[in-house]
Every structure is written in structure tokens, then in C-alpha cells.
Copies of this chain bind each other. A is one copy, B any other.
């Protein structure tokens, strides 16, 4: 299959230059896994997108309409049954200047992509990750949502070219561990899961939320709280997650070696697999 773009339900190659998504990063996006022609974890993606729209004051289309557009894009892309849908909602076209009109009509852009391919060993034996030197700024007004302002992630991801590192861990300006450049992070010890609070920086990942839900349903305790870099050596297990990969155990983080996967991580992987996150089949 080839990458295909749509504006609403029409094939499109471009957006008007006056779109505020381009001018100011004034919009949001979701990157959704598609399996058997269906957008996986759709309710969580829709909820985050709409919550982001509300926080930015973008009058979003209704969930059902967004779903219809996503389905249409999947259906209209040749040879597309498994892959990625990127759903972008911008504030739409506008005048020059930061001020927006309440009447601006949001623009919905949808792209269909091939599945990203990663080595099987990323799941089976874990990954090595590095610590990014760029620190995330603390901005409660934008934390949690997945806005089009992503320069921090762009700069952090391009700090390294060495393919032996599958991801980079990002700290905030206070030295708290927040996330990977394209993933959320969990730690585990015999007492359960710990994942950093996403109140001042980072994106509230859909897979993070799914993992918290399945852990809870399985009786695994989970704590969402600030995690400092100094705590890293206290944890026995660590994993990264996102909507495309499910979960990758971390084998090495900076100079710390970890069980990959350890018992808690293995249990979470089994639960993910049972919930339909097929990447966690090992």
C-alpha cells in the first residue's frame, strides 16, 4: 500500500497554506493502529483528541463523524487492512495573527500508512534506550494532549542515529522522568506498576491508559506519580508503550540493566495480547 491522504472524505495532497496547523501548530493529532480494517482502541483515541480540542478551544466534529471519516479513509485506501491511520484536526484556515475566530471551521486530515516494522527481539528480548539531553519544558496548559507543537520530540529524536538505541528517554526540566520521544514509560517492582504523572509535560498515551485499565482489572497495583531520575536504579523492570508497538521491555536504560521482560512486564504483555494487542505475541 501507499501512503494516502484525505481531507475529510476526499483524497487530498495538500492543505491551504493559511491553515493554522501549519502557521502555528494550532491543532492536534492521533496515530492509530489499524488491524483487520478497524481502528484499534478507537474510543481512547477519540476521547484524547476531543479533550485536546476542548482545551485548545477547537470546536471538534462529533466522535461519530470522526469515526466515519477514519473508516472511509481505511476503506478508500487500496490494500489496507493493517497499518496506521494518522488523524489530524487543525483549527482550520485563519487570518494572520495568533487570535482565532470562534467561527473557524476545523480541518480534518487523515493519512493511511503502512505498519512500521521493528525487530521481533524488541518484544522478546527488550530494547536498549538512551537518555535524551533535551529536557521537556513544563507546560501544564499543553501537557497530556497530543498537539501539533512537537519540536521538543523532533529535537530529542534526532539527538542519536545509532540504531542500537530503539528509543530515547526524556526528562523534564526538573529532572523527572516523563516519557520516550514516541512512547510512555512504566516501571515495575514486586509491588506493581509505576508510571510518571503527565501533568506538566508529556502526552497521555492511549496505550498507557489501556495498560492502566487492564492492570487494574487484573488486580495489579499501579501508581501514577512523579518519578525522578534517581529512582531509576530502584526499579527491577521498565517498559515503553505506544499505540503501534503495544509494549517493549527495556533491557538497558543508560547505565542501568533491567530484566527484560521481567515477571510483571510479562504478565502485562499477556494481558495486552489477550485484549487484542497482537504485537505482544512472542
Contact = CB atoms under 8 A, between A and B. Distances in A.
A53 to B, nearest CB: 13
Q: How large is the interface on A (under 10, 10 to 19, 20 to 34, 35 or more residues)?
A: 35 or more
Contacts of A235: none
Interface string A1-32: 00101000000111111111111111001010
A152 to B, nearest CB: 7
Nearest to A28: B151
Contact of A139 (B18, B97, B100, B152): B152
A20 to B, nearest CB: 8
A150 B94 CA distance: 14
For the complex of A and B, list the 7 residue pairs with the smallest distance between their C-beta atoms, beginning with the closest: A25-B25, A14-B14, A137-B137, A137-B139, A98-B157, A149-B149, A24-B150
Interface of A: 3, 5, 12-26, 29, 31, 56-57, 84, 86, 88, 90, 96-100, 109, 111, 113, 116, 134, 137-139, 141-142, 147-158, 173, 181-182
27 contacts: A5-B18, A14-B16, A15-B17, A21-B22, A22-B90, A22-B148, A23-B29, A23-B88, A24-B150, A25-B149, A25-B151, A26-B150, A26-B151, A56-B151, A84-B96, A86-B96, A97-B182, A98-B150, A98-B153, A98-B156, A98-B157, A100-B154, A137-B138, A141-B155, A142-B152, A148-B151, A149-B150
